[in-house]
């Protein structure tokens, strides 16, 4: 994108907008590259931070307007580094920041750091710009987080090594059995009732815990126990 050429800038952002309109807004979105835009070093709410260069050019203003319209963040400007690790281009004695990582709000939460690495030799007047990203596991999302926590709950079966605890667990099972209805005809209901009795007795006498490491514990109930 050429500085001072409004027709080229408008065409660029129109094309970029058409591409982004086809992308699911719930996805991780990251734009990376040379925008030929100087953002400046003044904070713009929800768009950019104060860790840019002093200059704000016309392309920088257009970039800000575009990010505001598409709800994007110029995420590089939020990370503070020495100037040696901040400027992305150096030519004819002039240093500038024109290469960026631009993300949607979802992606901005997984960016840990962004900085320039000058030790990498490239046949270019641009320096290598890298981001440290920490994506959460794919299986960990809002839809199954509660189910995951439930699956990770275990009885403290080690307490059964204690004679008094074994006696207490036995008594709790007998107590619950005495409260059940006799002569249950429906075998499915009777089996379900027995499951609830064993789980209740174990919970009352042993207690439960959530697994914090890879040690194996007896799960509250699973298909293997059911069989």
CATH number at residue 29: 3.60.10.10
Tokens 């030790």, located at residue: 119
The verdict on 38 and 88 lying in the same domain is: yes
> Over the stretch 153-179, which tens digit does the pLDDT of each residue have?
777 888 788 888 888 888 888 888 887
The verdict on 108 and 162 lying in the same domain is: no
Counting residues of the chain whose pLDDT is more than 70, the rounded percentage is 80
At residue 212, the 3 state secondary structure works out as coil
Q: CA-CA distance, 110 to 104, in Å (whole number)?
A: 11
- Domain final residue, candidates 133, 154, 182: 133
The verdict on 150 and 96 lying in the same domain is: no
> Over the stretch 123-141, which tens digit does the pLDDT of each residue have?
788 988 999 998 887 665 5
Q: Tell me which of 17 and 155 has the higher pLDDT.
A: 17
**Are the beta carbons of 47 and 64 closer than 8 angstroms?**
yes
Q: Tell me which of 211 and 224 has the higher pLDDT.
A: 211
The verdict on 18 and 124 lying in the same domain is: yes
**Are the beta carbons of 190 and 177 closer than 8 angstroms?**
no
Tokens 């991780």, located at residue: 28
In a domain, 95, yes or no: yes
The verdict on 156 and 65 lying in the same domain is: no
Does residue 217 have a pLDDT over 50? no
Domain that holds residue 209: 145-226
The verdict on 22 and 47 lying in the same domain is: yes
Global pTM value: 0.57
**Are the beta carbons of 124 and 111 closer than 8 angstroms?**
no
Does residue 102 have a pLDDT over 90? yes
At residue 94, the 3 state secondary structure works out as strand
**Are the beta carbons of 152 and 213 closer than 8 angstroms?**
no
The verdict on 155 and 45 lying in the same domain is: no
Does residue 91 have a pLDDT over 80? yes
In a domain, 139, yes or no: no
User: How does residue 146 score in pLDDT terms, banded at 50, 70 and 90?
Assistant: low
Distance of CA 181 to the CA centre of its chain: 49
Closest CA to 136 of 148, 151, 153: 148
Tell me what the pLDDT averaged over the chain comes to. Answer: 81
The verdict on 16 and 128 lying in the same domain is: yes
* Overall domain count for the chain: 2
Does residue 46 have a pLDDT over 70? yes
In a domain, 28, yes or no: yes
The verdict on 97 and 160 lying in the same domain is: no
Q: What pLDDT, on a 0 to 100 scale, did the predictor assign at position 226?
A: 47
The verdict on 104 and 24 lying in the same domain is: yes
In a domain, 93, yes or no: yes
């Amino acid at each position: 994108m050429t500085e001072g050429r409004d027709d080229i800038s408008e065409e660029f952002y129109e094309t970029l907008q058409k591409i982004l309109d086809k992308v699911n807004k719930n996805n991780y979105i990251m734009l990376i590259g040379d925008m030929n835009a100087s953002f400046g070093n003044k904070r713009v709410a929800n768009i950019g931070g104060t860790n840019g260069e002093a200059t704000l050019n016309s392309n920088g203003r257009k970039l800000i307007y575009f990010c505001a319209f598409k709800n994007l963040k110029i995420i590089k400007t939020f990370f503070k580094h020495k100037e040696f690790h901040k400027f992305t281009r150096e030519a004819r004695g002039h240093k500038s920041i024109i290469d960026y990582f631009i993300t949607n709000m979802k992606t901005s939460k997984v960016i840990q750091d962004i900085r320039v690495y000058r030790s990498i030799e490239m046949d270019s007047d641009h320096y290598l710009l890298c981001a440290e990203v920490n994506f959460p596991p794919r299986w960990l999302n809002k839809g199954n987080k509660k189910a995951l926590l439930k699956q990770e709950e275990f009885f403290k079966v080690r307490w059964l090594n204690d004679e008094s605890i074994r006696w207490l667990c036995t008594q709790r099972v007998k107590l619950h059995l005495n409260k059940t209805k006799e002569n249950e005809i429906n075998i499915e209901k009777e089996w379900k009732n027995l499951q609830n009795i064993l789980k209740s007795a174990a919970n009352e006498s042993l207690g439960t815990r959530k697994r914090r490491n890879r040690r194996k514990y007896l799960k509250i109930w699973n298909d293997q126990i059911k069989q």
